[in-house]
Amino acid sequence: MTKYLIKRILHGLISVIIVVMAVMLLVYNAIDREKIFMQDPLIQKKSSNEKEVYKYQAWEDYGYLDYVPYADWLKELVKNGEITEDTRAAVVKIAVKAEQDDPDVAEYVRRFTEYYEGKGYTVSRLDAVYQTNGATLVKGGSQRLFAYKNVPIIVRMWKYFTGVIKIDNIHYAEEVTGERGIKFTFHDPAYGGDKFSPAITGNGTKYRYLLYFDNRFPFIHQNLVTVNLGLSYSINYGVDVWDTMVLPQGAIVKADTYYPTGFVENSSNDLHTLRYSAGSLEKGGEFMSKRFVDDYTITTTEKNGLSKMGYSFIIGIIASLIAYLVGIPVGISMSRHQNKLIDKIGTAYIIFIIAVPSLAYIFMFRAIGMSFNWPVTFNGTPKAYILPVISLALKDIGGLMRWTRRYMIDQKNSDYVKFARSGGLSEPEIFRGHILKNAMIIIVHGIPGTILGALVGAIITESVYTVPGAGGMLVNAIQFYDNAATVGVAMFYALLSVTSLILGDVLMAMIDPRISFTSKGR
């Protein structure tokens, strides 16, 4: 069993990798890269060479290519000690045309070209663009020199997968005040230092708090292992897709905050999320030194709402629970009273759910809900959950009714049931003891998928009721050409589906002793 499971997991991981590769090929190579600027307001204001350079910068940000301006290369040389700051300042300014370059500048330009062309880059020099009168430059028309190289898919994938899971370590920070190390405390300083609350803190790590408790579900939190699915810019600019899914949303909450200096303030900063940022204490001036003692200064704000995934999950899981509690019993009684009234009503409902576009019946449910005065726009109150949950549940109920009925009726005509009947068992006994158990095996197979699927969210339901859930993320990312987010979300979906299939098989094997994944016993 273990061997089989390991094989399945490895197999699943390989298919996830191939999925990511396929998605990367689709979004990075198949879509015209100029299209990412279609909804970009910044590019409208730029013109000439500046616009061209802006595009390369953006492409680098979105992971299309590696872009190095001439000035950056010189800075790198200074940093490595190959040239002095004075030389850099002397040669950094290139002339409007290559022929007019200073001999010194020309030499460095040659070296730059040689170095990067040797590495397979394309070096591009944009001459200054003059207005028609020939005297003044057009806006953004100054000369530029840079090198760029397309990132091959293998490199992109390698970078991506090595960066997906990061484990924090005490050598993360470049410079730290005090000694690097990990400390355990019973009295979390973020609560003023008196309250009993165990926490593990680190010095030299990316996050100050590696493990801590607070009053938010699931009460124990960690920052040791972080997930990075790729930076998104369409949903939350510059925030990782994973964080976008799991960080709380809504209005900020203020509470008494005990800063490391002992300063107490009514603030929304969540000190448990303290993150290292080199030199931030110095840059922040008095404001920072009043509150912080070292470079751990970046926090996220505390908000009162749930995360995108949180909303989706709560709605999804309640809906699934209702669906199982209603759908299975109704399906069973439909199969028991085949071709009777309940079966006919149930079948009509199933046909309605299968055939009618989901958008249509969600709006029908919405209209019905409105007549009960239930809120149709989501605001986080318990009442606002009613309609999204019902809309989702009614759909799932249809599916569960359909399959439960189908399996039960198939089982009803099988030989073992006929045998049980000839043995004199009553119909309820046969249904409970024989048919139900066998029919449930396939239903059980879908349970892990249902639970994990709730994390993904429901795209139409959430959009109709304006739930700030995770359902629309993929579509959003595609529409805004947010490649990193598309890849990240697609990988998350693929992982979920692979996991739920494996879990489903395991669960099925657990409840049905006849199913065995090892060749033994067969």
Partner 1 sequence: MEKESAEVKELGLSEEELFSHYDHNQYESEKVTAPRYSYWKSVFRVFFRQKINVVVLVLLALIIVFAYIYPAVTGYAANHEEMYNMNAADNSTKHLTPDKAISKFGFSLSWILGSGSQGQSTFDALWYGSSISITLALICALINMVIGILLGAVWGFSKKVDIVMTEVFNIVGNVPYVLIIGVLIQILSPSFWTLVFAMTVTGWLGIAYFIRTQVIVIRDREYNLASRCLGTPILRLTMKNILPFMTSVIVTLAAAEIPAYISFEVFLSYIGLGISDMTLGKIITQTQAFLAVPEWGFEYWSPIIVSSIIAIILYLVGQNLGDASDPKTHM
- CB of 321 or CB of 460, closer to partner 1: 460
Tokens 């207005």 found at: 131
Give the H/E segment covering residue 124. strand 122-126
CB 474 to partner 1: min, Å: 6
CB 481 to partner 1: min, Å: 8
CB 263 to partner 1: min, Å: 48
Backbone angles phi, psi at 303, to 5 degrees: -130, 160
CB 7 to partner 1: min, Å: 14
- Separate counts of helices (H) and strands (E) for the chain: 20, 15
| Residue 496 vs residues 450, 453, 456, 493: alpha-carbon distances, Å | 10, 7, 9, 5
| Sign of the torsion angle spanned by Cα atoms 382, 385, 390, 395 | negative
Give the H/E segment covering residue 449. helix 447-456
CB 315 to partner 1: min, Å: 18
Which residues, listed in sequence order, are joined to residue 202 by a DSSP beta bridge?
Answer: 182
- CB of 24 or CB of 109, closer to partner 1: 24
CB 227 to partner 1: min, Å: 19
* CA–CA separation, 398 and 417 (whole Å): 26
CB 462, CB 312: distance < 8 Å: yes
CB crowding 502-511: b at 16 or more within 10 Å, else e: bbbbbbbbee
Tokens 């030989």 found at: 415
- CB of 32 or CB of 415, closer to partner 1: 32
- CB of 91 or CB of 487, closer to partner 1: 487
- CB of 16 or CB of 91, closer to partner 1: 16
Q: How many CB atoms lie within 10 A of CB 445?
A: 20
- CB of 357 or CB of 521, closer to partner 1: 357
CB 277 to partner 1: min, Å: 35
| Residue 16 vs residues 241, 445, 452, 499: alpha-carbon distances, Å | 17, 21, 16, 10
CB 313, CB 454: distance < 8 Å: yes
- CB of 134 or CB of 357, closer to partner 1: 357
- CB of 278 or CB of 351, closer to partner 1: 351
Contacts of 25-28 with CB under 8 Å at 24 or more apart are 25/153, 27/481, 27/483, 27/486, 27/487, 28/63, 28/64, 28/153, 28/156, 28/483
CB 359 to partner 1: min, Å: 5
CB 395 to partner 1: min, Å: 12
Q: Which residues bind partner 1 (CB under 8 A)?
A: 15-16, 18-19, 22-23, 26-27, 30-32, 35, 351-352, 354-361, 363-364, 459-460, 463, 472, 474-475, 478-479, 481, 486, 490, 493-494, 497-498
- CB of 26 or CB of 157, closer to partner 1: 26
CB 368 to partner 1: min, Å: 13
Which residues, listed in sequence order, are joined to residue 135 by a DSSP beta bridge?
Answer: none
* CA–CA separation, 160 and 65 (whole Å): 14
CB 327 to partner 1: min, Å: 19
Backbone angles phi, psi at 265, to 5 degrees: -145, 150
Give the H/E segment covering residue 256. strand 255-258
- CB of 32 or CB of 86, closer to partner 1: 32
* CA–CA separation, 269 and 279 (whole Å): 19
